[in-house]
Structure 1
């Protein structure tokens, strides 16, 4: 390590352009080969760090901050959501905490709509049938799915990503309804032709329910057995926000029993684990947390995190701070 240069720990390797930004302001360490560190390894690795670039699977709490030491100035997460972080504990210790909003909106909206198409048009089932070399022939009743035109997309949380999903749905001829902690401005409602509904009414109304709310104590298991029973038997659930917003066991029951028609999931309660009964069901489309997984988006996320670190270490203000 170069004398007097800040020590920057990157808990999982990020895009090279972002590493280059960090190397301009400090000495950078990350695990080689790239791998997830155990909590003990992670706390050892961050000891003495002046700055840390973390991921959403690192538990960034008081113990994390104390393991780093009193010299740590900034922790930048390469994610929008920060339910894994105790921001108040970091703020109490004078640590700047930042996230990466905005840059992953379109990629996540694309993935959400991709899951929607896969499950409503049974594309995953069709591909599995072909790869299994199952005999088939075209007929007018073969693997019928559900069309989208004239159907209602219910969005829980009409923020940036929710709005981006709504724009895609409009192009497919869907109607938009939403719920959330508060109504969005009238100009947003008008642009999206969206109507606000209380959550319980949205459950009854939506043909497709897409989740875009943050994970909070109030939204943990927001979609439970009761919520699923309130949905139409023909309805589909899409989750690209955080896994614990959905009670996976209840969802597996609902899918198996025909309470709802299907689901598309990119996130899970206990990642990387997936509830085993979900893996056995054909009416659920599963993806391994690919919402932001494009080269362009992951690079932009890493660059924003790196620029936040560089700004703080050089005496400036962070670009996207999270307030505790």
Structure 2
């Protein structure tokens, strides 16, 4: 098969399988996901669909996307962010191409109106059969806030109210909100998603970690996270959750893996970079630190972003097979 991917078998939607995946969060089972081609020349509709269907066929837990609205001229943020598809439109496309694999975005930045975003997420949750994970972040590019007419200051406080509004949109019969940043007159915002999408928060500061423990269904790490020090962050989130009267063992801890398959990098290599065997051992080590999910993201690999699209897809196909979860 061209580019190394075989066609996915046609499978019927299995509600029992979806329930089993949900229950596995409490059982402490490590779940493996995969990011779809979203950035650069290899991120074509055909490549997205083929990665998604093959990942589902191989038993991956979730497909992941990320958000980058714009790339300011002269900004040093890196090639991955130069050209990126919209994450929700991409997931909507993939929802129709798959049956049971979950669909996640890590993360959407809180510079849009939460009522509008809540409606979009609710629709995607309903159309996908309840498979959505919505990650929310503060945002870190001032130009994106300028372009959306949002104040860059007090992002942390805004994010807390943002989460409050999202939950109201998804659960309240009559939605009404009069807060510091957002206003919604008494309104019907329907249809309601059942269940509401899983809601994760991102961020690296202590304030962001504590916010995740108090408010969210879990936490998702960034592409710049030092994975060798992720354990203390998870423990801080769990402690905050417990102090808030929540069950810390019910939280999800999702690690974005800036994964790069290559030769043995020796003792100084970064986690999730090296041979497939080393990367699988790294996943086990992250599980021991409290991580509940790892998703392998090749969009941050120079070998993928700078490669010819067909060659990038060939490498991605090999990675899908090499890093697939146990049967």
Bigger CA radius of gyration: 1
The structure with the largest helix share of the pair is: 2
TM-score over 0.5 (shorter chain) = no
TM-score computed with the length of structure 1 as normaliser: 0.30
TM-score computed with the length of structure 2 as normaliser: 0.29
